[in-house]
Each structure stands twice: as C-alpha cells, then as structure tokens.
Structure 1
Amino acid sequence: MSRSKRVTIADIAREAGVSPGAVSFALNGRPGVSEETRQRILEIADRHSWQPSSTARALVGAKAGVIGLAVNRPARTLGTEAFFTELIAGAQSSLATRRIGLQLVVVPTIEDEISTYRRWSSANQVDGVIMLDPRDDDPRLPVLRDVQLPAVVIGSAPPAGDDDGTVAVWLDDAEAAHTVFDYVAGLGHRRVAYVSGPAVFQHTRIRADVLEGLAARGVDGETIATDFSPAEASAAARKLLSRTERPSAIVFDNDVMCIAGLRVAQEMGIAVPGALSLASFDDSVVAGLVHPSITALTRDTFELGVRSAELLLARLDSADAPRDRQGPRPTLSVRESTSRPGA
C-alpha cells in the first residue's frame, strides 16, 4: 500500500480481506465482527497510522472516537492538583481499550465551557463529555440536552427521580463532609473554618451545610470561598489566623490549599497541630510527605475516572444503560496535622 496518499477504510479493508463495513465496525468499537478480525483490522490501521477524516465523519454523522472534558479552573493551578491528573489517567485507561481519545480543554468561565460544548457538538468533534463540578440549577445541563451531546456528570448525588437524561457518577459529599467535620469536632474543636472552592459548586454548599449543622454540637463553623488557588487559600488562612479568636481547626477543599495554609501557620509561628489542626478533603502523595503530614479524605480518583468513562461509553452504546453509578467511597487518613485542641 502506497504511503504517499492518505490511507482509507477501503485500503484497510482490502489488506484485511474484509468489507469496508467490517472495518468501520472494528474501528468504532461496534459489534458485528469477531474479536480476531477486529484485532487484525486494528493492527493494520496502526501500522499505517490511520486517522479518520473529520470532514467525512461530520457529513455522515459517524462517531468522532473522542470524549471531551472541559475544566473550568485557573490554568495556572490546574497542574498542581493531583485530582485531575489521576482522574484523567483513569478515564483515559478505560477509553484506550476502545481506541477512544480524550480531548481536554481548560476554560476560564462557565460561559466558555458552554460555548465549548456547542462547538464540539456542531463540528462533531466529540461523542460525549464528562462534566465536573455541578451546580444547583446548572445552566450547562439544558445546553447539553439541547445540542444532544451525551454527558456523564461527576456529582454529589445520583440523578433526580425525573428522567431528564442526566447520567452521573456520584460521590456522597454529605457523607464525606461528616467524615471530616465529625472527626474534627470529635477531637474537641469548637471553632472550625472551612476554606472551600467557589460557593456555586454543589459540593461546596453541601460541605458548608454539614459544618453549619454541627452548631447543635456546639461547633462554631465558618466557610470562606476561594478559587482553589494556593494564593487565595493562603490569604484566607492568614485572615483567619490573624483574629483574636482564631479557629482551632481549618479544613481545606484540597491538599495543595491545605499545604498553603500550613505554610502560613508556620510563617506566623502557630504550631500545627498543637495550636491549630489542619485537614483536607483531597489527598495525594504530597500530603503524606510534608511535615507535619496532612490528615485527608482519601479516595481512589483513578477509579473515579475509570467509572466515569465506562458509564459514558455504556450510555453511548445503549440508551438502556444505567443512569448512575456510585463513585469510590473515601476513607479518612489520619496523620500528624490534627490533634485535640492544645495537645
């Protein structure tokens, strides 16, 4: 086969001794060919570095072979969060078995995220999307339904009872919040601050509500919203620790924010955990390497990515696929950064 021209499905079919339709089934991960034939076709396609024509694909309405992930986070801080690295790795490991790619776009606002979904749909660039950080009355969901772009939402609860087409891999954020805040309260802390991400996110509201509910146990809770960046986490920690009556415990939304808060405490000469306990809702290798090591909620984020991709692929294959799947349940890793007040 000449390498001077673009390799087509017809070329692969001739070399494999099958019909172009069989090649299409194999390359798109659809049933209709035996596994032995599928593997032979995939090996030929790999050998010739075959790539689908996006123009032809859009004209015939064929699958793109790509899943989209638009992340609304400050681009400078995205690389510091182990959560995204592990989530993407898990999703990609699942997609790779079907020869499906993952397209990642970092967007500065939710409006840009919505524009990205519309562009992906109109150009047939992705077959579906994984959506993060759901909000109450989320404006993205009606748009995804309008442009008929299948989506799996990584959220805080299973989809509502009415069948609005929402599919979710859900994490019980109320349970997670109780795991952390109940432990801190159980140590005897009565002034507890929560340094969160943006207040519009569902998980932020749920965690803040759980902390507020601990007032019945004599806990004075306060939530300070940030953009997840270490700079804003540091500023929030400095503000809290400069008060006459400062909190005896601070819980941060992720480990990088918590480490930023730890540095502020060290800068101000406040002993951790003797005078201040710190904890995080996200864990990573780094949280266990700093001194003192960080008490954190540990979950298998790689597996979360796997389950999200698997559920989306199942939904793309069949409308009868499950509407939701529970994500990995977290456990609390107690380390050196927490103790009883004044211990």
Structure 2
Amino acid sequence: MTQAGADSGGKVTIAGLAGRLGMSKASVSYALNGQPGVSDATRARVLALAADLGWYPSSSARALSQSRSGTVGIVLSREAEDVGSEPFYMNVLAGIESVLSSHESNLLLRMVAPGVGAGRDLDVYLRWAGERRVDGVILFDHFHDDPRPPLLDSLRLPYVRLGAPEDAATTANSGNTTVSQSVDAGTLVEALHDLGHRHIAYVSGPLALTHETARKAAILGHARRLGMTAVSTPSDYTADDGGTATIAVVAGLVPGADDFPTAIIFGNDLMAMGGLVALKRLGLKVPGQVSVLSWDDSILCRFSSPSVAALGRDTMDLGRRSAALLLEIIAGHAPGNRLSPAGTLLARDSLGPAPARGVA
C-alpha cells in the first residue's frame, strides 16, 4: 500500500503532501522553502508532516526557486598551514559556521597563497559571481586601497568586512563588523603604565593591513598621552619572525629605540611565542626584565611558560556577528555596522611591574 503523501514508488512528493493536507501545491512549496505567502500555523503543519514522512526539500531545487545558492563564500589570502596554526582564524570560522548551520546555509572556503599570482582572490570572486556559487562573501584582512570592495560592489555581490575600522563606510551592498583598535590599545598601554612601565615596544603584523596601522598609531598615541616612549617594528605573524623582531627591538636596532623596552606587545599569539623564545635565548627574564603581552589570546598563551598575558576578545562572536549581518543583507535588510565589544586584559605570568632599573 502506498503511504499517504507518497507516489506509487513510495517517494514523498509536494503533490502528495498537498493532497493529504488539503492545500495547494504552491502553499506547500512556500512553507517548505521558507517563502512568504503562508501563515505560521500553515507552515508549521506542513513542516510537521514532512518531518513525520522523512521528507526534506532538494537543496538544488530550493536554490533555484529562491534564486539563491544557500552558500556564503570566504577567500583567505594566507598559506593553508598559517590558517591552521593561528587560533584567530579557527575561532572566527567556527563562529561563522555556527550561524550558517543554524540557517541551513553552507560555507565555501578558498585559500589563496599570498604573493603568488596577484589578484587570484579577485578571480575567485569573479568566478563565484559568474557561476552564482555564493549569495555573499565575508572579507578578512583589509588592505589600504583594497580592490575587493569595489569589485564586489560592481558585481552586486553582498559582502561583510569582518573586523573593519569603526568609521568604515557601508554601501547598498555591504556592511561591517567593526573593532575599536584605539580602545583595545588603550587597555594594554594603560595597564603597562599602571605597572610602572615607561618604555614599551609593539611588534606588529604587516603594515599593509589597515588594522595593524591603526593599532600601531593607537599604541604610540596612548603612550605619548601617558608620557611613555614607544617604538614599533613589523613582523609577518609567524613565531620565527616574531622572534627576529624581538631581538631587533631589545638590541636597539629599531629606529627611535633609545631606551630599553621593559614591555613588548605582540600583534598575535604566534609572534608572542616567538618573542618568548628569543628573550630566553638572550638570557632576559620574563617578566623580571621584560613583560610580554599578546593582542590575541589562545591556548598557546595559557599553556606557555610563562603563561602570556593577552587581550581577551570573543573572536567566535566576531564570526557570528559577521555571518548574521551578511545573511540579513542577503535577505534584503539594510546594511549597517556592528561594533564588537572591547577586549579585556587577561593578566598572566608574563606581565609584571617594570624593573626598578634598566637591564644591566
């Protein structure tokens, strides 16, 4: 005997569901695909029967009916091993995926090696838009004169800039999750000032990134405001280069480094780990002679020796906010900016008072 709601082959169909419920096929289709045109009560009846019969709408058919792919894209211009080793990316991606999965949306991730075939990330966006592979994209790592937003605007492909500056502009097609680099820099610099530090250094990531230039300017600005001296040198976010930059800072090889720094802030946790190793090799005690802080917290900071003080930021929440905002823009809601909460200082063993005297 054929199950009610199924065809002669036992396959559950929209026509079968409609006949059993006494509704039109159009109403059943609207309810199953989340489209307007039916009441909440009707939608609930249709979904309940579909679930009882083990029926789920075809993702390809649903995408066609909605002129959407049900997919969000991300292109990262990073080496795959760097993405895998840096907790920031893993946490943000986990936050994004948690929102997308709850909305039955998919994540399409591509990694493009930086410096190899400039513009390869732009080619990916062009292909995705041409093939209608994604409904929108989330942008990481914002550059000065970044070519991606103008391209995406011209393609009319919705996008969200994750971790953009507070004053980032929106377009009819885009929104931003913003971060106040000045507020976070103030948290770190003021904590060091309270501990008696007057000469500090910042080991940044690449200064081609807008958030790194903003962090550098904020750290130097807060230091001047508090009567402290501060120097900065760029690195590449890796542990090895973070160690090299640390040696340059304490050896006075960085322009403006007239005084030995009693504290070093690192732009991420991997560079902080490299800095710890370098300071140990130089025979400098942490925090007895030099305090170490990381802008990003992770398990590396918690279980290093000594444990590293860090700026606690909810990076998973940053991912969730970005994904939720993009889905709203895709659905036709007005774009906007979403400010992420400021970070808080997580004081650990690497942070201590400034030494009474300079390093001998």
Per the normalisation by structure 2, the TM-score is: 0.82
Equivalents in 2 of 1:43, 1:158: separation in Å?
Answer: 46
**2:197 corresponding residue in structure 1:** 189
**In terms of mean alpha carbon deviation, does 120-129 or 135-144 score higher?**
135-144
Deviation at 1:325, TM superposition (A): 1.2
Residues 337 and 42 of structure 1: CA distance in aligned 2, closer, same or farther (over 3 Å): farther
Deviation at 1:106, TM superposition (A): 1.4
**2:3 corresponding residue in structure 1:** none
In structure 1, give the amino acid aligned to 2:69: A
3-state SS, counterpart of residue 198 of structure 1? coil
**1:240 corresponding residue in structure 2:** 249
Query: Is residue 220 from structure 1 mapped to residue 229 from structure 2 by the alignment?
Result: yes
Give the conservation status (yes or no) of the 8 Å contact 1:159–1:166. no
Equivalents in 2 of 1:118, 1:44: separation in Å?
Answer: 42
In structure 1, give the amino acid aligned to 2:59: P
**1:308 corresponding residue in structure 2:** 322
**2:95 corresponding residue in structure 1:** 90
In structure 2, give the amino acid aligned to 1:337: S
Give the conservation status (yes or no) of the 8 Å contact 2:99–2:320. yes
3-state SS, counterpart of residue 73 of structure 1? coil
- Which residue among 179, 199, 202 is the counterpart of 2:210? 202
Per the normalisation by structure 1, the TM-score is: 0.85
For the pair shown, the structure with the greater C-alpha radius of gyration is 2
Query: Is residue 52 from structure 1 mapped to residue 59 from structure 2 by the alignment?
Result: yes
Deviation at 1:199, TM superposition (A): 0.6
- How many residue pairs match? The answer is 332
**1:338 corresponding residue in structure 2:** 351
Deviation at 1:153, TM superposition (A): 0.8
3-state SS, counterpart of residue 310 of structure 1? helix
3-state SS, counterpart of residue 96 of structure 1? helix
Equivalents in 1 of 2:232, 2:225: separation in Å?
Answer: 17
Q: RMSD of the alignment, in Å?
A: 2.9
3-state SS, counterpart of residue 138 of structure 1? coil
Residues 210 and 36 of structure 1: CA distance in aligned 2, closer, same or farther (over 3 Å): same
**2:256 corresponding residue in structure 1:** none
In structure 1, give the amino acid aligned to 2:90: T
**2:286 corresponding residue in structure 1:** 272
Residues 177 and 292 of structure 1: CA distance in aligned 2, closer, same or farther (over 3 Å): same
Deviation at 1:239, TM superposition (A): 2.5
In structure 2, give the amino acid aligned to 1:83: F
Equivalents in 2 of 1:221, 1:53: separation in Å?
Answer: 56
Deviation at 1:263, TM superposition (A): 1.6
Segments of 5+ residues of structure 1 without an aligned counterpart are none
Which structure 1 residue ranges, 4+ long, deviate > 3 Å from structure 2?
A: 18-35, 37-45, 47-54, 162-166, 215-218, 241-246
Residues 23 and 256 of structure 1: CA distance in aligned 2, closer, same or farther (over 3 Å): farther
Query: Is residue 231 from structure 1 mapped to residue 231 from structure 2 by the alignment?
Result: no
Give the conservation status (yes or no) of the 8 Å contact 1:26–1:42. no
**1:289 corresponding residue in structure 2:** 303
Equivalents in 2 of 1:108, 1:24: separation in Å?
Answer: 43
- Which residue among 258, 263, 272 is the counterpart of 2:272? 258
Give the conservation status (yes or no) of the 8 Å contact 1:65–1:101. yes
**In terms of mean alpha carbon deviation, does 283-292 or 26-35 score higher?**
26-35
Give the conservation status (yes or no) of the 8 Å contact 2:32–2:57. no
**1:120 corresponding residue in structure 2:** 128
Residues 231-261 of structure 1: CA deviation (Å, up to 9, x unaligned)? 2112212332344864221111111221121
Equivalents in 2 of 1:143, 1:41: separation in Å?
Answer: 45
Query: Is residue 64 from structure 1 mapped to residue 72 from structure 2 by the alignment?
Result: no
Residues 50 and 90 of structure 1: CA distance in aligned 2, closer, same or farther (over 3 Å): same
